[in-house]
Amino acid sequence: MSIRGYVARPGGIAVLAAVAGALIASLASLAHTTSQPLVATTAMTEALAVPAFLGAGVLRLARWRITGEAHCALRGGAMILMGGLALPSVSLARTLAAPDGDLTIVTFVRAVTAGVVLYVLAVALSDDESDRVDLGRKVVWLTATTAAATVLLVTLRDRVPPSPTIEPTLADGVEVALAIAWLTVAAAAAVRGNRAHWARPAAPLLGAMGLSEVFRVPDDAATTLVAAALTAAVGFLVASSALMDLVRAAQDERDETHHLTRELAQARDAVWTRKAWQDELTHDARSTLAGIRAAVHTLDRQGDRLDPATVDQLRAATLAELSHLEHMLVRRNTDTDVFDVSEVVRTVTDVRRAAGLQMEVTLESALVRGVPGDLATVLQNLLVNAHEHAPGAPVSVAVRTTGAVVHVTVSDDGPGIPSEAADTAFERGFRGTDSRGSGLGLSIARTLVRQQGGELELGQAGTGASFVLSLPLVTPAAVAVP
């Protein structure tokens, strides 16, 4: 299991807390060998908390470098202040706690550092993402004020005689004030959780810090050890959550990169497809226009030198090319859909029947994916063709499924297509069978069917002409998927 997977489990945090507890216990047993067991254990526990906070701060700053989130920078800074100044100064205070030791300066440094930490956390909590510059300025001001106050105190200490009654009171006062400050920030974090997603998980830890200050108030070795253990445990939890967040940020960054790469590939493909389509359309349109221009010119200048049949064919072919051009430009509704071929056939044949065409229609339900409008256009074209090609002869339309394919056969009892014309039936131009019909022409009909993955071919008719349109069927399972 990856580190991330491990620390992300709720149990992972409990394990970390247990490890911290075990460490503290083993340190305590070690310390029993010394003359002042509790005090020594407390010092070592506090020493343990220092690297935890420093590590957490570095990890937070690393996350800030990756994500650029302001709160990460502020929290990282706060943790480094905590581990680098606030906690060592507590240890320092204890080391110097000789009966006649002067604790004023240490207490003051501790109070000020913890104050800075709290202030930074409070600022992070009230952080408005658009206001980072202002935040930075506030932190700089506060640091400067702290430094000035420290210098002032050092100067004053030499002038004021040490007073044994004031110092313990001062120390207690600082601890109570800090406890209240931690608990206030914790409450603020709990409330702010709605807006700053990181604040709510931090609230219990901030509360624990407040609690550890409360435990420090009575000047008792046992409660001070509890306070130190609490601080160390918080340090470990903070470090583990910082690591977890860093790992997550790195993973997110990687995911984001791959997501962008994929998007880029898709955008590129889309642009190329679109460009290819556009080039093809331009080329086709220009070619078609050139053909029309050539035909019109030839009819205009040389019409009287051509035989009437050729003139008629050229005219018909020109009109067919104009329809083709129009179709190229105005084909709008090209949304593919799953539909029943038989419904389209029924609609089209009903219309043609109303127009006087005799038809024998055989239907069978067959679901395909394609453009219903295009299929209707093709069928209409085939029926018009049959009507003009074999006037009065009955036309049969049959929908039949074979395996995974549906065949729509349109056949008539007319004279049929001569075998020498069969090869050119689907070509554009006046040599093909197009010239007889009006409308779209067989070549574009075939193109439309092919675009839907199907095929349009001449069928094996007994006497008349027969066209077979085939389309792949859609399996019921595929229909269910949108």
Partner 1 sequence: MSPRERRRRLRVLIVDDQRLLVDSLSLALRLEGLDPLVASVADAAGLVELVQADPPALVLLDLDLGGALGDGTDLVAPCVAAGARVLVLTGTTDELWMAAALEQGACAAIDKGIPFDDLLGLVLSAAHGQTVMEPTERERLLHHLHAHRASRARDLAPFESLTPREQQVLRALSLGQTVSHIAEAWVVSESTVRSQVHAVLSKLDVRSQLEAVAAATRVGWL
What residue ranges bind partner 1 (CB under 8 A)?
254, 257-262, 264-265, 268, 282-284, 286-298, 301-302, 305-306, 310, 314, 317-318, 321, 427-432
Comparison of 197 and 259: residue with beta carbon closer to partner 1: 259
Q: Minimum distance between the CB of residue 287 and partner 1, rounded to whole angstroms?
A: 4
Comparison of 305 and 332: residue with beta carbon closer to partner 1: 305
Comparison of 36 and 278: residue with beta carbon closer to partner 1: 278
Phi, psi of 400 (to 5 degrees): -140, 140
Q: Minimum distance between the CB of residue 435 and partner 1, rounded to whole angstroms?
A: 10
Q: Minimum distance between the CB of residue 294 and partner 1, rounded to whole angstroms?
A: 4
Q: Minimum distance between the CB of residue 442 and partner 1, rounded to whole angstroms?
A: 12
- The SS3 of residue 65 is helix
Q: Minimum distance between the CB of residue 420 and partner 1, rounded to whole angstroms?
A: 14
Q: Minimum distance between the CB of residue 441 and partner 1, rounded to whole angstroms?
A: 10
Comparison of 21 and 303: residue with beta carbon closer to partner 1: 303
Task: Name the token pair of 105.
Answer: 């300066």
Comparison of 25 and 276: residue with beta carbon closer to partner 1: 276
Comparison of 326 and 337: residue with beta carbon closer to partner 1: 326
Query: How far is residue 10's CA from residue 12's CA, in Å, rounded to a whole number?
Result: 5
Sheet containing 405-412: order of strands = 359-362, 395-402, 405-412, 466-472, 455-458
- The SS3 of residue 439 is coil
Q: Minimum distance between the CB of residue 212 and partner 1, rounded to whole angstroms?
A: 42
For the chain, what's the residue count? 482
HEC string for 76-139: HHHHHHHHHHHHHHHHHHHHCCCCCCCCHHHHHHHHHHHHHHHHHHHHHHCCCHHHHHHHHHHH
Class of residue 188 by CB neighbours under 10 A (exposed 0-12, middle 13-18, buried 19+): middle
Tokens 């010394």 belong to 34
Q: Minimum distance between the CB of residue 383 and partner 1, rounded to whole angstroms?
A: 24
Comparison of 102 and 284: residue with beta carbon closer to partner 1: 284
CA distances from 209 to 39, 231, 265, 399 (A): 20, 6, 50, 80
Burial 143-179 (b: 16+ CB within 10 A, else e): eeebeeeeeeeeeeeeeeeeeeeeeeebbeebbeebb
The answer to whether 115 and 66 have CB atoms below 8 angstroms apart is: no
Query: How far is residue 53's CA from residue 58's CA, in Å, rounded to a whole number?
Result: 9
